[in-house]
């Protein structure tokens, strides 16, 4: 009799375990089905950081969006088919695009890539679609809108390292991150003159502009790398901050 009871107990435990596992899969499937799909354009470039971040983002069951990242190799696209544009990090923006004659021989330029991304930014801006510029991308968007860059800021920000970024009061970034938070950097150039239609949202301790937003359009830019913060796992806090910033951009895209 005792043997039968033990067998029944094991049987019911197996049934219960199967039920819980099945229910978990059903719940995960249901969450995936209810996620809003956003189609985001990414210019074709050597950068792989954005793709890595989106791959991780799409595996997260606790985010409200599923991102369809489309790599584009021409500015001749139908912008209405996209919810937003991400301009990633990469090579330095050629000084001729912001009317500077200062050419640094140690820098790597690609004027063809610059022009391609400039044309994309102009098209998305004209359509009032959300744009996110990351590092070089933020510099390029600023240039497109009429700003200029510091051609070479030396090596103080070049090596991958965490730095404290301060948010500007009465901005979305202050609400999102508080007065300051740790960010991950690697860059040789920075914004010099900010385009007149942009406003500063974040700064480094040395005064470097770390983030901006457009005064009336859903255009944002950051000098640091939220996509790398999200995937590199420097710390739990930087990972969460990277995710928060990406989510902020996707929220803008969901309203476009």
Q: Is the pLDDT of residue 31 over 80?
A: no
Question: How many percent of the chain have pLDDT more than 90?
Answer: 65
Average pLDDT over residues 227-251: 94
In whole angstroms, give the CA distance from residue 75 to residue 127: 13
More confident residue, 105 or 40: 40
Per-residue confidence (pLDDT) for residue 104, from 0 to 100: 66
Q: What are 92-131's pLDDT values in tens digits?
A: 898 999 888 776 666 678 999 999 999 999 999 999 999 9
> What pLDDT does 230 receive?
95
Half-sphere exposure of residue 17: CA atoms within 13 angstroms, side-chain side: 6
Q: State the average pLDDT for the chain.
A: 86
Q: Is the pTM of this model over 0.95?
A: no
Residue among 157, 148, 175 at smallest CA distance from 223 = 157
Question: Mean pLDDT throughout 222-234?
Answer: 92
Q: What is the mean pLDDT of residues 17-44?
A: 68
Range name among 30-44, 80-94, 166-180, 220-234 with the lowest pLDDT average: 30-44
Count CA atoms closer than 13 A to 201's CA, side-chain side: 23
* Rounded Cα distance, 150 and 102, in Å: 10
The secondary structure element, H or E, covering residue 229 is helix 226-232
Q: Specify the DSSP class assigned to residue 90.
A: -
Mean pLDDT over 3-15 rounds to: 55
- Tokens 């991304």 belong to 117
**Predicted pLDDT of residue 150:** 85
Angle at CA 99, nearest 5°, toward 93 and 102?
Answer: 70
Give per-residue pLDDT as tens, 59-71. Answer: 999 999 999 999 9
pLDDT of residue 106: 60
């Amino acid at each position: 009799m005792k043997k039968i009871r033990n067998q029944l107990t094991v049987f019911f435990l197996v049934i219960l375990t199967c039920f819980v596992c099945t229910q978990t899969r059903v719940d995960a499937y249901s969450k995936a089905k209810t996620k809003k799909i956003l189609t985001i354009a990414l210019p074709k470039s050597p950068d792989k950081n954005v793709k890595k971040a989106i791959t991780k983002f799409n595996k997260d069951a606790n985010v409200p969006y599923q991102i369809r990242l489309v790599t584009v190799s021409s500015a001749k696209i139908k912008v209405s088919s996209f919810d937003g544009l991400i301009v990633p990090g990469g090579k330095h923006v050629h000084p001729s695009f912001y009317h500077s004659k200062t050419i640094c021989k140690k820098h790597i330029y690609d004027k063809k890539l610059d022009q391609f991304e400039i044309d994309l930014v102009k098209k998305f801006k004209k359509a009032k679609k959300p744009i996110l510029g990351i590092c070089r991308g933020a510099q390029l968007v600023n240039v497109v809108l009429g700003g200029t860059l510091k051609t070479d800021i030396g090596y103080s920000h070049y090596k991958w390292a965490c730095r404290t970024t301060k948010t500007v009061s009465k901005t979305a970034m202050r609400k999102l991150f508080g007065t300051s938070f740790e960010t991950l950097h690697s860059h040789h150039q920075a914004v010099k003159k900010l385009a007149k239609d942009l406003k500063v949202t974040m700064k480094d301790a040395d005064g470097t502009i770390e983030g901006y937003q457009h005064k009336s359009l859903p255009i944002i830019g950051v000098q640091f790398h939220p996509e790398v913060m999200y995937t590199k796992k420097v710390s739990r806090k930087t990972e969460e901050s990277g995710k928060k910033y990406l989510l902020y951009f996707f929220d803008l895209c969901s309203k476009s």
